[in-house]
Amino acid sequence: MHLLIVEDEEKLAKALKKGLELKGFAVDWLPDSEKALNRILLYRSEYDLIILDLMLPGMDGATITERVRKEGVTTPIIILTARNETEHKVDLLNKGADDYVVKPFSFDELLSRINAVLRRPAQQKPVVLRVGPLEMDMATRVVRKNGEEVPLTLKEFALLECFMRQPGEVLSREKLFDHVWDFNSLSWSNVLDVHMKNLRKKLGSDKDEPLFETVRGVGYRLVGEGSIQSE
């Protein structure tokens, strides 16, 4: 897997490059937006994923994204954005970014986003996710609890997948919403709560050992340790 990092903060860029190389990625780093644009346009098929800082001198990450998408580049793009820029995140996604990570982020968070984005389009490798009594077969899109099939709607499946890929972690409402619903659905209705309620009902959380925990003011958490099995 070959990644391109475009980031003008040298310290951060070098740390990311080193960390990602340790995870087995080949990583190029460019601090300059013009060079980055040219590199992406010329070597589009070289890269599996591009990590693009939003605030760059010259052209910003959103503009680069828009330009390369207009030129037909389909390589997945993850944008690094500062906390106070998050109100523009929908714009980023509309301009063609696949995901964004808010600074300061942990390396593990970025890594899980990278893995999620890289898995998203291909979906060639059937994978089985397991957390506690739950099993999710990505190939057949069947969910089982203690071996018994639980029929889920598409949205419920997508929502549960978020949890099963990050078991034991608290997922914010915003994150869940962004991952499961269209980037265009801006209405922050109670749609997430309704789906969570349905998921809980269908998966039959027991009172003593709830599958999902509500973390007040933040979001939800799937309890338990997970594993991912590639077939």
Q: Pick the stretch among 5-13, 30-38, 129-137, 191-199 that binds Ca ion (CB under 5 A).
A: 5-13
Nearer to Ca ion, 86 or 190 (CB): 86
102 binds Ca ion (CB under 5 A): no
Question: Which residues in the 185-214 window bind Ca ion by CB under 5 A?
Answer: none
Across the chain, the runs of DSSP E, i.e. the strands, are: 2-6, 26-30, 49-53, 77-82, 99-103, 127-131, 134-137, 142-145, 148-149, 170-172, 212-215, 219-222, 226-230
Residue 53 binds to Ca ion (criterion: CB under 5 A):
yes
Write down the least CB distance from residue 144 to Ca ion, Å: 45
Does 85 sit near Ca ion (CB under 5 A)? no
Among 1, 12, 41, 55, binds Ca ion (CB under 5 A): 55
Q: Contact region for Ca ion (CB under 5 A) — 54-62, 173-181, 193-201, 205-213?
A: 54-62
Strand partners of residue 80: 53, 101
Phi, psi of 49 (to 5 degrees): -160, 145
CB-wise, 3 or 143, nearer to Ca ion?
A: 3
* Residues 117, 79 contacting (CB under 8 angstroms): no
Tell me the closest approach of the beta carbon of residue 46 to Ca ion, in angstroms. Answer: 23
- Reading across the β-sheet that carries 170-172, which strands appear in turn? 170-172, 219-222, 212-215
Q: Does 8 bind Ca ion (CB under 5 A)?
A: yes
Residue 52: left if φ>0, alpha if ψ -120 to 50, beta else—which one? beta
Neighbours of 68 (CB within 10 A): 21
The CA distance from 193 to 203, in Å, is 15
Q: Is residue 178 within the footprint of Ca ion (CB under 5 A)?
A: no
Number of residues that bind Ca ion (CB under 5 A): 3
Smallest distance from the beta carbon of 3 to Ca ion, in angstroms?
Answer: 17
Q: Which residues bind Ca ion (CB under 5 A)?
A: 8, 53, 55
